[in-house]
Amino acid sequence: MPSPVIAPYPATRLRRLRQADWSRRLVREAVLRPSDLIWAMVVHEGEGRIPVASMPGVERLSVSEAAKAAREARRLGIPCVAVFPHIDGARKDASGALASDPEGVIARAVKAMKDAAPEVGIMCDVALDPFTDHGHDGLIVDGRVVNDPTIERLVEQGLMQAKAGCDILAPSDMMDGRVGALRKALEGEGLCDTMIMSYAAKYASAFYGPYREAIGSGKLGTGSVENPADKATYQMDPGNGEESLREVALDLAEGADMVMVKPGLPYLDIVRRVVEAFRAPTFAFQVSGEYAMLTAAAANGWLDGERAMMESLIAFKRAGCSGVITYFAPAAARKLGA
Ligand code: PBG
């Protein structure tokens, strides 16, 4: 009997393919695999594992715990880890001198992880903020984060990371021209295989809040000349979409191999536009605040944390991402392997 309710299209019933798990799987467009994940992790200078209060389930890892985590990434099929440093506040200064320390926690963690699991890729942030007492990503002169002098420091930092064995340099500072400067310096040192994933479209976002606790970031925001209140003079304005295409075009022209959009879920429209415009490997960073929102709601019993995690990650694949940088990587990979 043709249904009078949905006439005149009685043959079109989109629910037909949704009726069983097997048919849903058969026609699913986007899939999430462990190989889509980059595991964001924080390393610290001391011993053991220290929980990050605003990111339940995330701990700062000592160098030897980071090496164990690299082995765990290999076991779970996670291709790459992204390491961020927590530095003792007493050792920070205005210039972020420790950023290029060849004996520092980043260099030691990269070496230990490469020894433990050489098959796992390692990505390092190129930016001064974990090392500056003011918490900004660059050098400050007369109340401004100055572009070109900052780039000189970033190049020293990036070269140190590459020499320590880092596979992917990920400049997250948003200075103009830093990708070209890093690429030129790498070529000059014969490090022509070191990859660059630029934080190309990185927004001045409130969603980085918990990260500041995780890495013990210097306190932003007095608005004084020594310490401008926020990062809006270098990170992108959340209202801008067209500008993301200019940022990505420049970074690719300067020698980036891959580009990133950050934060993730609130900026999926940017991901889609970048993928369509450039067809280059495009990643999204599901940042600390996104992680905190989901885990806090789950801890209150307000949503099913595991399902929300997996749904958020498939959304990145559906939008066209090659992969996702996420603190959920080990939990998601375990779920996928289960
Ligand atoms: C540093 C940097 C930040 C993040 C990654 N690299 C913070 C910022 O730019 O203020 C954020 C990561 C997160 O929130 O998970 N340049």
Asked whether residue 220 carries a pLDDT value surpassing 90, the answer given is: no
Domain ranges in the chain?
32-337
The rounded distance, in Å, linking the Cα atoms of 232 and 247 is 15
The pLDDT tens digits for 312-326 are: 999 999 999 999 999
Nearest to 250 by CA among 278, 283, 286, 285: 278
114, 202, 231, 317: the catalytic one is: 202
Distances (CA, A) of 324 to 33, 181, 242: 11, 26, 22
pLDDT band of 224, cuts 50, 70, 90: low
> What's the Cα-to-Cα distance from 313 to each of 248, 286, 297, 308, rounded to whole Å?
23, 9, 17, 9
Is 1's pLDDT higher than 80?
A: no
* Number of CB atoms found within 10 A of residue 196's CB: 25
pLDDT per position as a tens digit, 235-271: 999 999 999 999 999 999 999 999 999 999 999 999 9
The ligand 1 atom at the shortest distance from the C-alpha of residue 231 is 10
Residue 223 in this model has a pLDDT that exceeds 80: no
* Cβ contact 284:260 at 8 Å: yes
Q: Which CATH class is domain 32-337?
A: alpha beta
Read off the pLDDT of each residue in 208-224 and give the average, rounded to a whole number.
Answer: 83
Confirm whether 335 is a catalytic residue: no
Average pLDDT over residues 35-58: 97
Would you say residue 232 has pLDDT above 70? yes
* Predicted confidence (pLDDT) per residue in 267-316, tens digit: 999 999 999 999 999 999 999 999 999 999 999 999 999 999 999 999 99
Peptide bond into 263 cis (omega under 30): yes
211 C-alpha to center of ligand 1: Å? 6
Is 335 in a helix, a strand, or coil? helix
If 0-12 CB within 10 Å is exposed, 13-18 middle and 19+ buried, where does residue 203 land?
buried
Over the stretch 61-114, which tens digit does the pLDDT of each residue have?
A: 999 999 999 999 999 999 999 999 999 999 999 999 999 999 999 999 999 999
Q: Does the annotation count 202 as an active-site position? A: yes
Residue having the nearest C-alpha atom to atom 7 of ligand 1 = 208
Dmax of the chain from CA atoms? 79
Check residues 74 and 223 and name the one with the higher pLDDT: 74
Whether 208 lines ligand 1, by a CB cut-off of 6 Å, is yes
The whole-number pLDDT of residue 225 equals 58
Residue whose structure tokens are 């209202």: 239
How do the residues of the chain divide into helix, strand and coil, expressed in percent and rounded to 5? 45, 20, 40
Mutate to test the pocket of ligand 1, among 129, 262, 265, 291 (most ligand atoms within 8 A of CB): 129
pLDDT of residue 219: 76
Closest CA to 270 of 314, 237, 313, 307: 237
Could you count the other beta carbons within 10 Å of the beta carbon of residue 301?
8
Helix (H) and strand (E) counts in the chain: 11, 12
287 pocket-lining for ligand 1 (C-beta < 6 Å): yes
Q: How far apart are CA 114 and CA 49, in angstroms?
A: 20
Supply the pLDDT for residue 187.
98
